[in-house]
Amino acid sequence: MVTTKWRAKALTPYGTGAVSLSQIQLYAGATRVDTAATISCSHTPASGALANLQDSDTSTLCTFERADCTSEGFWIHWELTSAADVTGIRVGSGAAQNTFLSHLDLQFWSGTRWEPMGTVGRFAWPGANAVSTEIVFTALTNLTVALLHMDGTNGQNSGWADSSVQRVLFSNQSGTSYSTTASKFGSTSLSIPALWNYAYFGAAGSPLFDLQTEDFGIDLWVRASSIAHVSNAPCLFSCNDGPRAGGYGLYLTNGKPEFFVENGVLGNLSCMATTTVALNTWYHIAVSREGNVFRIFVNGVLENTVTHATACVVSPTRPCVLGSYFYGGGQNGPFTGYIDELRIVKGRAPWTASFLPPSAAYESMVGALPLPSAHAGMSVYSMPGVALSFSPVGVAGYRVSPGRDHYFGGDGVLYGATEVDGTPDFPKVCKVRLQRERDGYTVSEQWSKPDGTWRFEHINRAEVYCVQAFDHTHDYRATLADNLTPEQMA
């Protein structure tokens, strides 16, 4: 993302005390871009000056208390002299490894909100008063970047929620609301009752929906009240504000689901299904990309395959749209009907052959979870050469949504992070389960945060526990750490 505004959050040291750094350097490719930036911070350093982080002198330090730099409200902000796409970061150490940086989150300003660039995890210790090797950010991959259940109360037209860990903005813009008239799952769906009504989700220019040439999957349920063309084919959802190469969307063209990508150089991509949807009937529509192969499915049946090299590019000026699209500054392709259970997965193609469509809503990825059934979470698979791991203690960070301590509460705490082994390791959102070791009793369960951190508080320090991490995407095997004794809460 090319912008002048960048910030770092959740600075977490190797040790249990303060963070003491001599540099935080931002790079766009091989060019350092922070040296002339205006730097500011939410908290006053415990010692040293913010300017020490950008002066290229590894003998001058800036130190923050751990309680400050790991808190929700902490940030270091850079206002660059000119817009840049930050792709890498280097960090300078002080004298001691335990005060060096383990993790940080880098974010950018999209024009409407702060968006995650990624979590940098486990900087390698460069030695005393030295600068680490550059860590290069990779694309936000293998993520559910939107999960819209459209569940609420009849007539609700505000306070809508995204149930993915990204918590993207989701809002009515013109005439849309939740409705009990028709729903596939839950009590309501999104009603788009009249021409030119529409809703927004995400943010303009968000990297979450900048799919480029990555694998992805998009699916939703739709119930059309009309399939008539008004100015153009009815649009279910769109990330296009053309004319613009790479703008993509899902349409009902002459009643047939069509995934369309505009590309004036390579030629437009059209991947159209063969089914003509009947009015007032629910259909599951799914699109996937695997390499350069695009597939479209209706009710789980593969109906068309198209090979094309186009990128799928997010709109830089407008959020994603439900129920219409914008082109040349004007609104086009109004849809009327109902939409339910929209999910967008980035980084993998969930479907490459015909499949059984979902029989229930996808599992939400935020908040505490109910107790699992006896066999829940056991269907996990591995990718060759890649393992899921987590640190059972020693990584403090954000407070997470608490699970439930059903019996013996106390003043104990266990915390850690779920990560995928690599060079460097990178965080992975997982289902994390706390069990009493002596009898396997499930005490609590929660999701780790986008930066991988998890934390179980107010548990009995007299007990010994095991903690298990489960990958809900089924790309990595579950892992377990046992014989864990809680620390006393501060």
Domain borders along the chain are: 2-136, 143-346, 388-488
Q: Which of 49-63, 94-108, 418-432 has the lowest mean pLDDT?
A: 418-432
**Residues 483 and 466 sit within 8 Å (Cβ to Cβ):** yes
Q: What is the spatial distance between Cα 479 and Cα 476, in angstroms, rounded to a whole number?
A: 9
What average pLDDT score do residues 420-449 get? 78
**CATH class of domain segment(s) 388-488:** mainly beta
Q: What is the spatial distance between Cα 415 and Cα 453, in angstroms, rounded to a whole number?
A: 7
Q: Which residues pair with 174 in a beta bridge?
A: 198
**CATH class of domain segment(s) 143-346:** mainly beta
Residue 121 has pLDDT above 70, yes or no: no
pLDDT at 367: 34
What average pLDDT score do residues 30-52 get? 94
User: CB under 8 Å, gap of 24 or more: what pairs does 375-380 form?
Assistant: 377/431, 377/433, 377/468, 377/470, 377/478, 378/478, 379/474, 380/470, 380/471, 380/474, 380/476, 380/477, 380/478
* Fold agreement (143-346, 388-488): no
Query: What is the three-class DSSP state of 394?
Result: coil
Would you place residue 473 in the very low, low, confident or very high pLDDT band (cuts 50, 70, 90)?
low
pLDDT at 136: 63
Would you place residue 240 in the very low, low, confident or very high pLDDT band (cuts 50, 70, 90)?
confident
The encoded tokens of residue 365 equal 């990825």
